[in-house]
Amino acid sequence: MNEPKLLSHMKENHLDAFYISKKENVRFISGYTGDDSALLITSNEYFFITDSRYTEQAQLECPEYTIKNWRTPGRTKADMVGDLAREHKLTSVAFESDVLSYNDFQLFDEKVDANLKPYSGVIETFRQIKTPEEIQYMRAACEISCRALEQLMPMIKPGITEKELAANLSLFMVEEGADTMPYGNILISGKKTSLLHGIPSEKSIEYGDFVLIDFGCQVHGYMSDMTRTFVVGKATDKQKEVYEIEKRMLEESTAIHKAGVTGKDIYIASLGPLKDTPYMGYQYNNIGHGIGLFVHEGPFSSEQDLTPFPVGNVRTIEPGIYIPNWGGVRIEDQLLITEDGYENMVRFTHDLIEL
Ligand code: GLY
Ligand code: MN
Ligand code: MN
């Protein structure tokens, strides 16, 4: 799949091998869709290090790899990498320094007789620019999410709990064609909507509540991520005021997306509608992220982020206003960055909906 990109990096950096164990990076490089496995990429052979739960799946999904079952009594993955390093005379082995635990690193240091070289962000940087196929999967995931939300809306009524709604939303996404492993959707109501990452609970929806739904699904592993905030019943004047400011924050910061823009530019654009309102200070500093095989990928849209967005990057835009002990509003879309603008993959109104 994507081994050639890594091989070029290894050549430039004089590396004999690269050990990869971050789940999304294993999938991106090899195409393997399971868990708990690692790759050892060398210039003339690719090794797939797993255990007997996954050997058949690995053979099917990664036919170019030599499959190695590390799990025999008393052995560790580090023993397997040590054997391979010896057999193939590997003198330098790179590893993902943000993934290998301290305990694992100590084992590798003991068992692998090669120079261990820490790297982070190498494969993540490849992943920032999406191929047409990856983009198609994410368009499909966004369409599924929108259809599922439309199905959920008639159920959002006083009396139903946040958990019941969250479970139904996941079901609707799978029925609409999403992969069967939903990720943790946020579906919160009332004052809890000021919690940026609140968890659905047994709380029942009440008349007058904000209901904030931040959710997504995966198609072939590629994710969607969107948020809409509704009001159950008639919105108060303050709810309408906060919602309208938030909507302008979203739309003004969305409008400037294009290749070369940075996360800092986006964050600053989002603040325009907040200035001179009582709600300045109730925003959050990180209002977007790359997305793909993982939900939060770089570059981020924050005051600190100076990485220019590349063409082909897919990312979210999600400013919000969060007022403790009152409530919060977030609207989130998913954008594909193009040379001179963006494509919004989420086709769902930004207007306030009173349910
Ligand atoms: N607010 C979490 C997310 O959408 O990334
Ligand atoms: Mn989200
Ligand atoms: Mn997001």
Do 108 and 227 lie in one domain? The reply is no
- Please state, in angstroms and rounded to a whole number, the distance separating the CA atoms of residues 235 and 232: 8
Domain that holds residue 151: 132-344
**Ligand 2 centre and the CA of 65: distance in Å?**
36
To test the ligand 1 pocket, which listed residue (217, 296, 301) has its Cβ within 8 A of the most ligand atoms?
296
- Classify burial at 64, counting beta carbons within 10 Å of its beta carbon; exposed 0-12, middle 13-18, buried 19 or more: exposed
Instruction: Specify if 44 maps to a domain.
Output: yes
The residues placing their C-beta within 5 Å of ligand 3, an ion, are 225, 316
**Ligand 1 centre and the CA of 195: distance in Å?**
11
328: domain CATH number? 3.90.230.10
Do 39 and 186 lie in one domain? The reply is no
* pLDDT tens digits, one per residue of 104-143: 999 999 999 999 999 999 999 999 999 999 999 999 999 9
Q: What are phi and psi of 187, to 5 degrees?
A: -145, 100
Task: Choose the final residue of a domain: 64, 97, 127.
Answer: 127
Alpha carbon 292 to chain centroid, angstroms: 6
Do 155 and 298 lie in one domain? The reply is yes
Number of structural domains found in the chain: 2
Instruction: Specify if 355 maps to a domain.
Output: no
Contact 315, 142 (CB under 8 A): no
The whole-number pLDDT of residue 106 equals 98
Do 195 and 280 lie in one domain? The reply is yes
10: domain CATH number? 3.40.350.10
Do 49 and 121 lie in one domain? The reply is yes
Ligand 1 atom with least separation from CA of 318: 4
DSSP 132: H
Instruction: Specify if 353 maps to a domain.
Output: no
Do 238 and 214 lie in one domain? The reply is yes
Do 150 and 62 lie in one domain? The reply is no
* pLDDT tens digits, one per residue of 289-341: 999 999 999 999 999 999 999 999 999 999 999 999 999 999 999 999 999 99
Do 108 and 59 lie in one domain? The reply is yes
19-28: average pLDDT = 98
Do 182 and 105 lie in one domain? The reply is no
**Ligand 1 centre and the CA of 329: distance in Å?**
12
Do 65 and 168 lie in one domain? The reply is no
81-103: average pLDDT = 98
The whole-number pLDDT of residue 183 equals 78
Do 122 and 235 lie in one domain? The reply is no
Ligand 1: residues with CB < 6 A are: 196, 214, 225, 318, 332
Q: State how beta strands 210-215 and 186-189 pair.
A: antiparallel
Do 52 and 151 lie in one domain? The reply is no
